[in-house]
Amino acid sequence: MSSRAEHGDPKRWPRGLRAVALLAAGAVTGLSFQPTAWWPLQTLGVAALVLLLDRRTGYRKRGFGAGYLFGLGLGAVSLNWLRVLVPGAGPAIAAALIAFEALFFGLLGMALVLVRRLPGWPVWMALCWGLCEWIYGRVPFGGFGWIRLVYAQVDSPLAGLLPFLGVSGVSVLAALVGTLLAWWLLRARRVRRLVAFVAVLAVLGGLGMAGKSYQVEPAAGTGSVTIGMVQGNVDGVGIGGMGRARSVTNNHFSETVNLMARARTGTVAMPDFVLWPENSTDIDPTTDFQTRQVVSAASQIAGVPILVGAVMEGPGPDERQTSALWWNPDQTITARYNKRNLVPFGEYIPFRNELLPLIPLLQLVGAQSIPGTEPGVIQGRLNDGSTIRVGDVICFELAYDRTVREAINGSEVLVVQSNNATYRRTPQIYQQFAITRVRAMEARREIVVATTNSVSGLIDRDGRVIEQTEELTSASNSYTIPRREALTPAMRWGGLVDLLINLGAIGALLAGIGVRLVTRRRTPAGPDRTTEPATEPAGNAARGRGSDLPLAE
């Protein structure tokens, strides 16, 4: 019996119903991300997209449309927090950004249709998904890889494979589970397919569970370090979420005093250095006397270095940099890291000279941020005379594989400085914390997180949340973590994994194009034939098994 007979013929569905189904598939996938975190729904959403693809019409036409609608549904659920960016215009801006990001899923839909005739198509589809994530994580303007499948897998068995395959590899496996589910559903009555599907799930789940026991132990004699985390809190909402810049710095000064008072009375461990978040001062403390006095007073009271998140003037006129400064108690700054991955139209304006006269609203961005060029490894000196190499990742940089790998390579401890004040009480806060957990598992490193007023705390090397602060509060604590230098396979070979995924996907796409060209030459054109015929192995046709994919319209 053919799949059309077994499952109904989606080609007969009204076009509007199919569109709704594709939007729903994307929305279901979106629910796998934080804050709902229903990760099994991701498998259902991916499978639904595959089942709803139209295999009879051209891949450029129906494939793009199917992927685009799926992307719209996914973005509407998982990226709706973008609405808070600009008061009044936020919903319109969010809709535009979601519609733009959906274009990449339109291209993914084309790719999925193109490789579906190949033997082993679930594997090639999964690799194409990985290639799509690689692309939209890099273009345009550095990309925005915020909703990669892996970030919803933080509590699934697949997470155990992160130190081996990294973010990209586990994302492909997550897609593979979904495409294999679709492969089985197309022949749900065939026991062999069910057995094969269950076997793959068992193998992946078993490997994932085994991988969770893998650890990177610190080298003998490296010891540990105690980091004092400060979350100072801010006032204001929306794009003005940082409130009055001086009050934000004063809040972090006050909470540092609170932390050190508790440390000196033995309530918390005495820190070796103190971690302030990104934008703990929005005024350059090296040029503004009042800000410098506040930071200097904090470092003198602490008596230990402070890693200060600051907005620095320059390097040119009307330019700025988001930086981390190693501020010593003697008021010297001996190390600095400049944020590398900037948010377009949030921290800087592409084509600034051309766009500013046309869109006055962009004036809200302020001075043009300039990206750093060096990896986020800060070498600072502690009070006992020893040095420590701190890997620093600033806010959205968590979503960029190369930036994270380079921050970990050569560092001994890993910290995240973030300012999420604009996104208070939105899913963005918890999505970023989930990404941080993924990075901890990938590197098998503890991560200390300091934010201005959202979610700070400590994540252990297995991705478990040891402590998590509340939003919109002041908080501080000290965390003692081991120094680690060894790298996981994912940190060492992550770039190679990306290369293999992309080469596999490109090879599959070229093979898919070749199959289409051969099919087109062999198919006689007729006056009423406007689409390509469905093709399948001759043996399947003779046995009346139908095609591997249902027809959908």
3-state secondary structure labels for all residues of 392-447: EEEHHHHHCHHHHHHHHCCCCEEEEEECCHHHCCCHHHHHHHHHHHHHHHHHCCCE
Residue 468: is its pLDDT beyond 80?
A: yes
Residue 428: is its pLDDT beyond 60?
A: yes
On the 0-12 / 13-18 / 19+ scale of CB atoms within 10 A, 173 is: buried
Q: Catalytic residue among 339, 397, 412, 442, which?
A: 339
Q: How confident is the model at residue 552 (pLDDT cuts 50, 70, 90)?
A: very low
Q: How confident is the model at residue 413 (pLDDT cuts 50, 70, 90)?
A: very high
Q: What percent of the chain has a predicted confidence (pLDDT) above 90?
A: 72
More confident of the two residues 445 and 83:
445
For residue 101, give the nearest of 59, 129, 70, 131 by alpha carbon. Answer: 70
> Where in 221-318 does DSSP place strands (E)?
224-231, 273-275, 306-313
Q: Catalytic residue among 255, 278, 406, 412, which?
A: 278
Q: Catalytic residue among 132, 347, 395, 471, which?
A: 395
- How confident is the model at residue 267, as a pLDDT? 96
Catalytic residue status for 212: no
- How confident is the model at residue 12, as a pLDDT? 58
Catalytic residue status for 128: no
Residue 2: is its pLDDT beyond 90?
A: no
- Note the pLDDT tens digit of each residue in 472-530: 999 999 999 999 999 999 999 999 999 999 999 999 999 999 988 887 777 665 544 44
Domain ranges of the chain: 15-214+494-515, 224-485
- How confident is the model at residue 345, as a pLDDT? 82
Mean pLDDT calculated for residue range 372-393: 96
Q: Which residues pair with 230 in a beta bridge?
A: 476
Q: What is the mean pLDDT of the chain?
A: 88
- How confident is the model at residue 222, as a pLDDT? 76
- Note the pLDDT tens digit of each residue in 307-335: 999 999 999 999 999 999 999 999 999 99
Judged by DSSP in three states, 369 sits in strand
Residue 299: is its pLDDT beyond 90?
A: yes
Residue 241: is its pLDDT beyond 50?
A: no
- How confident is the model at residue 346, as a pLDDT? 81
Residue 126: is its pLDDT beyond 90?
A: yes
- How confident is the model at residue 70, as a pLDDT? 97
Q: What is the pTM of this model?
A: 0.90
Q: What CATH class is the domain 224-485?
A: alpha beta
- How confident is the model at residue 442, as a pLDDT? 97
Cis peptide before 360 (omega within 30 of 0): no
- Note the pLDDT tens digit of each residue in 154-164: 999 999 999 99
d(CA 21, CA 111): 20
On whether the CB atoms of residues 372 and 340 are closer than 8 A, the answer is yes
- How confident is the model at residue 90, as a pLDDT? 75
